Amino acid sequence: MEPTLDLSRWREQPRGVGYRRWTIVSAGLRQLLGTRLFRFMLSVAWSAGVMIATIGFLFSQSVATGGWLESLAVYLGPRAEAVVSVLGACVVMFPDLCIGGLFTLVFWGHSYLGLWLSLVALTVMVPGLLARDRATNALTVYLSRPLTSADYLLGKLGTITGVLLLMWTGPLIFGWLLSMVFASDTDFIV
């Protein structure tokens, strides 16, 4: 005997369309997080965000007055001290060029990494979200409630937005905030 699909009315208080859309978004993100490829790409994206913070921290600690470069230059002689003091003077005289240029280059690199990771994630995984709903008859259950096709598609668009936030925007903002928290001076806050 094959089990039947019970589409009788709920006896609970209705929670609204927003709750139903959120259910579609969270189910889609849970399905994506269940795959190894998506978890791997997510770890690469967030590792790149941590690298942004590491590069910012290392740069600010090495170029700042009394930083790592000055401490190392003392052991390497007067010529190394002169080179380090010139580097420090360049940063002081041209902070937009030195600090802003470095962070622009780092953010540009991360944006392209996030772009490619997001494109791969969206190309490979998101079409399976609709196909999985159709194969398991979840679409029938979704549309049996007062939920229109547009609401369903908005829920799937929310899943795509969640993927972009997890793969691209989240790591970028996290890396920037972390590098600003660990900045040695207010000059390094970009």
Q: C-alpha distances in angstroms, 47 versus 15, 42, 44, 72?
A: 38, 8, 5, 29
Please give the structure tokens belonging to residue 32: 């994506």
Task: For residue 157, give the H/E element and its range.
Answer: helix 149-164
pLDDT tens digits, residue range 63-86? 777 777 788 888 888 888 888 888
pLDDT tens digits, residue range 120-165? 988 888 788 888 878 888 777 767 667 777 888 888 899 999 999 9
Tally of domains in the chain = 1
> Which of 35, 31, 21, 187 has its CA nearest to residue 103?
187
Q: Give the residue numbers spanning the domain of 175.
A: 17-52+96-181
| Residue 112 is assigned to a structural domain of this protein | yes
> Which of 106, 158, 109, 125 has its CA nearest to residue 32?
125
- pTM score, whole prediction: 0.73
| Residue 11 is assigned to a structural domain of this protein | no
| Residue 72 is assigned to a structural domain of this protein | no
The residues, any chain, with a CB within 8 Å of residue 110's CB and separated by 6 or more, are 48, 49, 51, 52, 171, 172, 175
Q: What one-letter code names the amino acid at 171?
A: P
| Residue 39 is assigned to a structural domain of this protein | yes
